[in-house]
């Protein structure tokens, strides 16, 4: 159950991060997109930690 909820929240946060990436330069966005992709691949292993990491990245991008 927790995993399912976590994945949905992760999708939302990743989308927010991706939207923030669109405002950046190509080089930065490519790097961050690949980072998010890596995080996305490992979300099934440790959803809680990945969600925390993703939200942390999203908050930093929003500044």
- pLDDT tens digits, residue range 47-62? 676 677 777 777 777 7
Residue 55: what are its φ and ψ, rounded to 5°?
-65, -35
Q: Distance of CA 53 to CAs 4, 15, 40, 46, 59, Å? A: 17, 14, 11, 11, 10
What is the token pair recorded at 46? 């440790």
Of 60, 55, 52, 48, whose CA–CA distance to 14 is shortest? 55
Alpha carbons 41 and 18: distance in angstroms, whole number: 15
- Split at pLDDT 50, 70, 90, the class of 10 is low
Look over the chain and give the mean of its residue pLDDT values, rounded to a whole number. Answer: 67
């Amino acid at each position: 159950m927790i995993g399912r909820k976590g994945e949905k929240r992760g999708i939302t946060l990743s989308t927010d991060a991706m939207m923030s990436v669109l405002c950046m330069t190509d080089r930065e966005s490519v790097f961050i997109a690949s980072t998010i992709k890596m995080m996305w691949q490992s979300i099934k292993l440790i959803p809680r930690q990945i969600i925390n990491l993703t939200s942390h990245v999203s908050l930093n991008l929003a500044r």
